[in-house]
Amino acid sequence: MKLAETTEFLKSVRLFKEFADVDRAALAQRLRERSLRKGQVLMREGDAGDEMYLVVNGSLIVSKAVTGRVEQVLARFGRGDFTGEMSLFDRAPRSATIQADADSVLLALDAKNLKTLTDTNPRAAAAFFFALVQVFIERLRASGDLVAEVTRWGLEATGMDVEPR
């Protein structure tokens, strides 16, 4: 991708909507492009990592191991979405497996370049973190809903009386 195309793409990513054009261009220079073929694994649950990924084209499936070879699909991400961001902050092993559901083009933002952003442009960094917190809240709420649904399924499967609220 050319720098101008990357800068324009960043306008469609929620995390960078509030950036000034010059700040988007500066960030675009720090992103690394990565391509995946359909079915290719980007990361596996338990892997080390220090990058987040922005989906330029294609789609990704996020899944978590349940038992043995059984995995639960947690999310699907497409153009303008992002994933892998937790590793930028906690350096913990990856919490899920991500693979391409279609041929995909991604942009990677690593911890070093995020630090550069926070050091050189606090206003853009604040906009990034505010948008990130909003997405975290939405994802946390969706996870809570999923836990409730799975719990209900478990109760129904065991024959326990489940009354609707």
Tokens coding 15: 């995390």
**SS3 assignment, position 77:** strand
Structure confidence at residue 87 (pLDDT):
87
Q: How far apart are CA 33 and CA 133, in angstroms?
A: 25
For 11-34, the pLDDT digits (tens) are 999 999 999 999 999 999 999 999
According to the model, what pLDDT value does residue 29 have? 94
CATH of domain 32-111: 2.60.120.10
Looking at the DSSP bridge assignments, the partners of residue 33 are 107
Question: Does the pLDDT at position 150 exceed 80?
Answer: no
Query: What global pTM score does this model have?
Result: 0.83
Beta bridge partners of 72: 64
pLDDT at 165: 62
Answer whether 60's CB lies under 8 Å from 46's CB.
no
- Classify 55 in phi/psi space as left (phi over 0), alpha (psi -120 to 50) or beta: beta
pLDDT at 71: 84
According to the model, what pLDDT value does residue 39 have?
96
**pLDDT at residue 76 in the model:** 94
